Homo-oligomer: A and B are copies of this chain.
Protein backbone atom coordinates (compact mmCIF):
# COMPACT_ATOMS: atom_id res chain seq x y z
CA UNK A 1 0.00 0.00 0.00
CA UNK A 2 2.40 2.69 1.21
CA UNK A 3 6.15 2.67 1.05
CA UNK A 4 8.05 4.97 3.37
CA UNK A 5 7.30 6.51 6.74
CA UNK A 6 6.73 9.81 4.99
CA UNK A 7 4.03 8.17 2.91
CA UNK A 8 2.44 6.85 6.06
CA UNK A 9 2.66 10.29 7.62
CA UNK A 10 1.10 11.89 4.56
CA UNK A 11 -1.60 9.23 4.48
CA UNK A 12 -2.56 10.05 8.06
CA UNK A 13 -2.31 13.77 7.35
CA UNK A 14 -4.69 13.28 4.44
CA UNK A 15 -7.12 11.44 6.70
CA UNK A 16 -6.97 14.33 9.13
CA UNK A 17 -7.57 16.69 6.23
CA UNK A 18 -10.72 14.99 5.02
CA UNK A 19 -12.09 14.59 8.51
CA UNK A 20 -11.70 10.83 8.75
CA UNK A 21 -10.46 11.78 12.19
CA UNK A 22 -11.75 14.83 13.98
CA UNK A 23 -10.03 16.75 16.77
CA UNK A 24 -9.93 14.59 19.89
CA UNK A 25 -10.42 11.32 18.02
CA UNK A 26 -8.39 8.24 18.82
CA UNK A 27 -6.32 6.54 16.13
CA UNK A 28 -6.03 2.78 15.81
CA UNK A 29 -3.02 1.18 17.43
CA UNK A 30 0.21 1.47 15.47
CA UNK A 31 0.08 -2.29 14.92
CA UNK A 32 -3.32 -2.13 13.24
CA UNK A 33 -2.38 0.82 11.05
CA UNK A 34 0.70 -1.12 10.03
CA UNK A 35 -1.47 -4.11 9.17
CA UNK A 36 -3.85 -1.97 7.15
CA UNK A 37 -1.09 -0.21 5.24
CA UNK A 38 0.95 -3.36 4.93
CA UNK A 39 4.09 -2.07 6.55
CA UNK A 40 6.04 -2.62 9.77
CA UNK A 41 4.91 -1.20 13.09
CA UNK A 42 8.21 0.66 13.33
CA UNK A 43 7.35 2.53 10.15
CA UNK A 44 4.02 3.66 11.56
CA UNK A 45 5.81 4.50 14.79
CA UNK A 46 8.26 6.70 12.91
CA UNK A 47 5.44 8.51 11.09
CA UNK A 48 3.40 9.00 14.25
CA UNK A 49 6.37 10.31 16.15
CA UNK A 50 7.00 12.91 13.48
CA UNK A 51 3.36 13.99 13.70
CA UNK A 52 3.68 14.13 17.47
CA UNK A 53 6.84 16.25 17.16
CA UNK A 54 4.97 18.60 14.85
CA UNK A 55 2.26 18.99 17.48
CA UNK A 56 -0.46 17.53 15.29
CA UNK A 57 -1.01 14.37 17.27
CA UNK A 58 -0.68 13.34 20.90
CA UNK A 59 0.62 9.95 21.98
CA UNK A 60 0.27 8.33 25.37
CA UNK A 61 1.57 4.97 26.44
CA UNK A 62 -1.24 2.56 26.91
CA UNK A 63 -3.71 5.32 26.03
CA UNK A 64 -2.97 5.40 22.33
CA UNK A 65 -2.70 8.16 19.76
CA UNK A 66 -5.13 11.07 19.54
CA UNK A 67 -5.66 13.92 17.14
CA UNK A 68 -4.87 17.08 19.08
CA UNK A 69 -8.15 18.64 20.18
CA UNK A 70 -7.10 22.12 19.04
CA UNK A 71 -4.76 22.46 16.06
CA UNK A 72 -1.73 24.59 16.81
CA UNK A 73 0.53 26.26 14.30
CA UNK A 74 4.03 25.33 15.32
CA UNK A 75 7.02 26.98 13.73
CA UNK A 76 10.69 27.12 14.45
CA UNK A 77 12.53 30.32 15.21
CA UNK A 78 16.25 30.36 14.55
CA UNK A 79 18.32 32.98 16.31
CA UNK A 80 21.90 33.02 15.08
CA UNK A 81 24.84 34.79 16.68
CA UNK A 82 24.30 38.47 15.95
CA UNK A 83 27.62 38.72 14.11
CA UNK A 84 26.60 35.86 11.82
CA UNK A 85 23.16 37.32 11.24
CA UNK A 86 24.69 40.62 10.17
CA UNK A 87 27.39 39.05 8.02
CA UNK A 88 24.86 36.75 6.36
CA UNK A 89 23.02 39.83 5.22
CA UNK A 90 26.21 41.03 3.59
CA UNK A 91 27.11 43.76 6.05
CA UNK A 92 30.31 44.35 7.89
CA UNK A 93 29.98 43.54 11.57
CA UNK A 94 31.19 45.59 14.48
CA UNK A 95 30.20 45.71 18.08
CA UNK A 96 30.61 48.33 20.73
CA UNK A 97 30.64 47.84 24.46
CA UNK A 98 28.58 50.55 26.10
CA UNK A 99 28.95 49.54 29.72
CA UNK A 100 29.81 46.61 31.95
CA UNK A 101 29.38 46.62 35.67
CA UNK A 102 28.62 44.39 38.62
CA UNK A 103 25.26 45.39 40.01
CA UNK A 104 22.47 44.15 42.19
CA UNK A 105 19.64 42.28 40.51
CA UNK A 106 16.51 44.21 39.70
CA UNK A 107 13.34 42.54 40.98
CA UNK A 108 12.57 41.45 37.40
CA UNK A 109 15.90 39.65 37.07
CA UNK A 110 15.69 38.14 40.54
CA UNK A 111 12.30 36.69 39.66
CA UNK A 112 13.51 35.35 36.38
CA UNK A 113 16.70 33.78 37.69
CA UNK A 114 15.25 32.60 40.99
CA UNK A 115 15.71 34.75 44.08
CA UNK A 116 18.46 32.52 45.49
CA UNK A 117 20.39 32.47 42.23
CA UNK A 118 20.52 36.16 41.42
CA UNK A 119 23.69 37.03 43.30
CA UNK A 120 27.00 37.91 41.62
CA UNK A 121 25.63 39.44 38.47
CA UNK A 122 27.25 41.34 35.66
CA UNK A 123 25.26 43.79 33.62
CA UNK A 124 26.43 44.57 30.11
CA UNK A 125 25.12 46.92 27.50
CA UNK A 126 26.39 46.56 23.95
CA UNK A 127 25.56 47.75 20.50
CA UNK A 128 25.91 45.61 17.38
CA UNK A 129 26.51 47.47 14.14
CA UNK A 130 25.99 46.53 10.51
CA UNK A 131 28.12 48.59 8.12
CA UNK A 132 28.66 51.00 11.01
CA UNK A 133 24.96 51.57 11.42
CA UNK A 134 23.17 50.47 14.61
CA UNK A 135 21.52 47.08 14.25
CA UNK A 136 20.59 45.85 17.70
CA UNK A 137 21.18 47.04 21.22
CA UNK A 138 21.47 44.46 23.96
CA UNK A 139 21.05 44.81 27.68
CA UNK A 140 22.38 41.64 29.26
CA UNK A 141 22.62 40.12 32.71
CA UNK A 142 25.11 37.34 33.31
CA UNK A 143 25.23 35.04 36.31
CA UNK A 144 28.82 34.86 37.47
CA UNK A 145 27.87 31.97 39.72
CA UNK A 146 27.07 29.91 36.65
CA UNK A 147 29.77 31.40 34.38
CA UNK A 148 32.61 32.54 36.64
CA UNK A 149 35.16 32.52 33.80
CA UNK A 150 33.23 35.26 32.04
CA UNK A 151 35.12 37.90 34.02
CA UNK A 152 38.23 37.05 31.99
CA UNK A 153 36.57 37.60 28.61
CA UNK A 154 37.81 40.60 26.65
CA UNK A 155 34.59 42.17 25.52
CA UNK A 156 36.33 44.47 23.07
CA UNK A 157 37.47 41.40 21.13
CA UNK A 158 34.34 39.25 21.22
CA UNK A 159 30.76 40.15 22.07
CA UNK A 160 29.15 38.66 25.15
CA UNK A 161 26.56 37.24 22.80
CA UNK A 162 29.07 35.30 20.73
CA UNK A 163 31.24 34.19 23.62
CA UNK A 164 28.30 32.81 25.56
CA UNK A 165 26.66 31.05 22.62
CA UNK A 166 29.95 29.46 21.60
CA UNK A 167 31.22 28.57 25.06
CA UNK A 168 28.13 27.96 27.13
CA UNK A 169 25.71 25.54 25.52
CA UNK A 170 22.47 25.68 27.42
CA UNK A 171 19.89 23.09 28.24
CA UNK A 172 16.92 25.42 28.21
CA UNK A 173 16.04 28.73 26.56
CA UNK A 174 12.99 30.94 26.97
CA UNK A 175 12.24 33.59 24.40
CA UNK A 176 9.76 36.43 24.61
CA UNK A 177 8.96 38.77 21.77
CA UNK A 178 7.27 42.12 22.13
CA UNK A 179 6.96 45.53 20.51
CA UNK A 180 7.91 48.77 22.21
CA UNK A 181 8.22 52.39 21.31
CA UNK A 182 11.78 53.43 21.61
CA UNK A 183 12.90 55.03 24.86
CA UNK A 184 15.46 57.74 25.39
CA UNK A 185 18.76 55.93 25.83
CA UNK A 186 18.17 53.07 23.44
CA UNK A 187 16.94 55.56 20.87
CA UNK A 188 20.17 57.50 21.14
CA UNK A 189 22.33 54.43 20.60
CA UNK A 190 20.15 53.05 17.83
CA UNK A 191 19.96 56.48 16.22
CA UNK A 192 16.24 55.97 15.90
CA UNK A 193 13.50 58.55 16.03
CA UNK A 194 11.77 58.97 19.35
CA UNK A 195 8.50 57.04 19.27
CA UNK A 196 9.52 54.54 16.58
CA UNK A 197 8.38 50.93 17.06
CA UNK A 198 11.06 48.37 17.83
CA UNK A 199 10.98 44.63 18.06
CA UNK A 200 12.32 43.44 21.39
CA UNK A 201 13.55 39.90 21.98
CA UNK A 202 14.14 38.72 25.52
CA UNK A 203 16.06 35.51 26.01
CA UNK A 204 16.97 33.62 29.15
CA UNK A 205 19.24 30.58 28.98
CA UNK A 206 19.83 27.92 31.61
CA UNK A 207 22.17 25.05 32.18
CA UNK A 208 20.13 22.55 34.16
CA UNK A 209 18.61 24.78 36.85
CA UNK A 210 21.26 27.45 36.79
CA UNK A 211 20.64 30.67 34.90
CA UNK A 212 23.36 31.63 32.44
CA UNK A 213 22.19 34.90 31.02
CA UNK A 214 19.21 37.09 30.28
CA UNK A 215 19.25 39.49 27.33
CA UNK A 216 16.90 42.17 26.21
CA UNK A 217 17.68 42.82 22.55
CA UNK A 218 16.16 45.96 21.09
CA UNK A 219 16.26 46.01 17.30
CA UNK A 220 16.32 48.98 14.98
CA UNK A 221 12.91 49.97 13.64
CA UNK A 222 11.97 47.97 10.56
CA UNK A 223 13.57 44.74 11.75
CA UNK A 224 11.73 41.56 10.73
CA UNK A 225 11.97 38.17 12.33
CA UNK A 226 11.40 35.32 9.89
CA UNK A 227 10.63 31.71 10.68
CA UNK A 228 10.30 28.66 8.52
CA UNK A 229 8.14 25.67 9.29
Contacts and interface: CB of A to CB of B under 8 A. Distances in A.
Contact of A226 (B75, B84, B174, B228): B174
Instruction: Work out how many copies of this chain go into the complex.
Output: 2
A99 interface: no
A225 interface: yes
Nearest to A22: B166
Interface in A154-199: 165-166, 168-169, 172-181, 195-199
A229 to B, nearest CB: 6
A74 B165 CA distance: 12
Interface stretch (A25-33, A65-73, A106-114, A128-136): A65-73
Contacts of A80: 70, 72-73
B181 A181 contact: yes
Question: Looking at A70, A166, A195, which has the most chain B CB atoms within 10 Å of its CB?
Answer: A70
Contacts of A122: none
Interface residues of A, number: 51
Interface string A69-95: 011111111111100100000000000
Contacts of A177: 177, 199, 224-227
Given A77-B77, A174-B226, 6 more contacts: A73-B175, A74-B79, A75-B173, A176-B224, A181-B196, A199-B199
22 contacts: A13-B169, A17-B168, A71-B165, A72-B79, A73-B78, A73-B165, A75-B77, A75-B79, A174-B228, A174-B229, A175-B226, A177-B199, A177-B225, A178-B199, A178-B222, A179-B180, A179-B197, A179-B219, A179-B223, A180-B197, A181-B195, A197-B197
